[in-house]
Copies of this chain bind each other. A is one copy, B any other.
Amino acid sequence: MTRWPLPVPMQRALELAAEAAAAGEVPVGAVVVQAGRIIGEGRNAPRALHDPTAHAEIAAIRQAAAHLGSERLGGCDLWVTLEPCPMCAGAIIHARIQRLYYAAPDGKGGAVAHGARLFDQPACLHRPEVYGGMGEGESAALLQGFFRERR
């Protein structure tokens, strides 16, 4: 049996997550896609950059918005290897991301299907379509390997 391949944006997000791990950062990667083309990429880097906001999603969103010359990313999709935290879910709302694809769930830090469930809040200004689970095994393996080494 050959396993169905992951979509290219999730493959790239997983590569970015592996790069984060190699740099000593929690392995999370993200890309922003517009019309099938990657226009923003990011990986976790708060330690190296001395920036508590330097999550993968924030970096990918900032790069895509700079590329488009617009604070809104309507029609763009975000692919990320881990369920977004409240900060990143909030940025996804501000950026008007159309579809969110995330790989592994985050029962402790996530704010999409767990915790604050930001997109389900009555006052939420923009709700992306949300698809979870693609690449979950690959992402969870990266995270588990990273935290196992550090214990």
Partner of A50, one of B50, B71, B86, B116: B71
Sample of 18 more A-B contacts, CB < 8 Å, known A86-B93, A115-B121: A50-B70, A50-B71, A51-B66, A52-B71, A52-B96, A53-B58, A53-B91, A54-B71, A85-B94, A86-B86, A86-B111, A86-B116, A87-B88, A87-B90, A89-B90, A90-B90, A116-B117, A116-B121
Closest chain B CB from A28 CB (angstroms): 13
Complex Cα–Cα for A116 and B94 (A): 16
A71 and B91 within 8 A (CB):
no
Residue of B nearest to A66 (CB): B50
Partner of A118, one of B47, B52, B86, B108: B86
Residues of chain A at the chain B interface (Cβ within 8 Å): 46-47, 49-54, 58, 61-62, 65-66, 68-73, 85-91, 93-96, 108-109, 111, 114-118, 121-123, 125
A108 and B85 within 8 A (CB):
no
A53 and B51 within 8 A (CB):
no
13 residue pairs A–B, Cβ–Cβ below 8 Å:
A46-B94, A50-B66, A50-B69, A51-B66, A52-B65, A52-B72, A53-B61, A85-B94, A86-B118, A87-B94, A89-B90, A90-B111, A116-B121
